[in-house]
Amino acid sequence: MLFYSFFKSLVGKDVVVELKNDLSICGTLHSVDQYLNIKLTDISVTDPEKYPHMLSVKNCFIRGSVVRYVHWPADEVDTQLLQDAARKEALQQKQ
């Protein structure tokens, strides 16, 4: 649940989602679920518009399993807190 909790804190921020098929989508994070499926609003395709398919699309739902990377601005995340959360999670799993 670590990353679900983490992504919840990013809701409303602008992120860039890179998919495993090399498509990169920029948009505002609308919601996330426990499978890390992502809903983005106001999307645009970041790379040169060689993907004209997406021109008319405003909102999208991305299945969590096709995501390769999610990029966000560095100052929107507290790395120390993330480390602590990871430690707690590791501890929990050991018990």
Partner 1 sequence: FTSSTGCRLNQGSGKPRGPLALEEELVSASQLEEEDLGPDLAPDVEEEGDDLGDPAVQSAVHNSQVRGRRTCFSQTLKFLSQTLDHLAPLPFRPSLPSAGSAARHFGPQLPAPDPSLLCSPPTSWPLRLSLRSHLTQLHPQHQRILKQQQQQGRPRSPPAKKWPQQPDSYANLMTQKEKDWVVKVQMVQLQSEKPRLDDYYYQEYYQKLEKKQADEELLGRRSRFEALKLVTPYIQKAEAYESVVRIEGSLGQVAVSTCFTPRRAIDAVPHGTQEQETAAASSQRLWVLYRIEKMFLQLLEIEDGQQEAQPRDSEQRSSQVEKLFQALKAQGQNNLEAADDGFLQALSVGKGKALVARLLPFLPRDRAVSLLLAITRHLPFLVKRDVADQALQMLFQPLSKCIRHLTFWELLQGLQGLMRLPPGSSERPITVVLQNQFGISLLYALLSHGEQLVSLNSSLKEPSSDHSAWTDMVVLTAWEIAQMPTASLAEPLAVPSNLLPLFCHHVDRQLVQKLEARMEYVTVEIRS
Question: Which residues sit at the interface with partner 1, rule CB under 8 A?
Answer: 19-23, 51, 53-54, 68-69, 80, 83-84, 87-88, 91
Q: Are 78 and 30 in contact (CB under 8 A)?
A: no
Of 11, 4, 2, the closest CA to residue 81 belongs to: 2
CB of 36 to partner 1, least distance (A): 15
The angle at the Cα of 26, spanning 20 to 31, to the nearest 5 degrees, equals 90
Nearer Cβ to partner 1, position 10 or 54?
Answer: 54
CB of 50 to partner 1, least distance (A): 10
CB of 60 to partner 1, least distance (A): 12
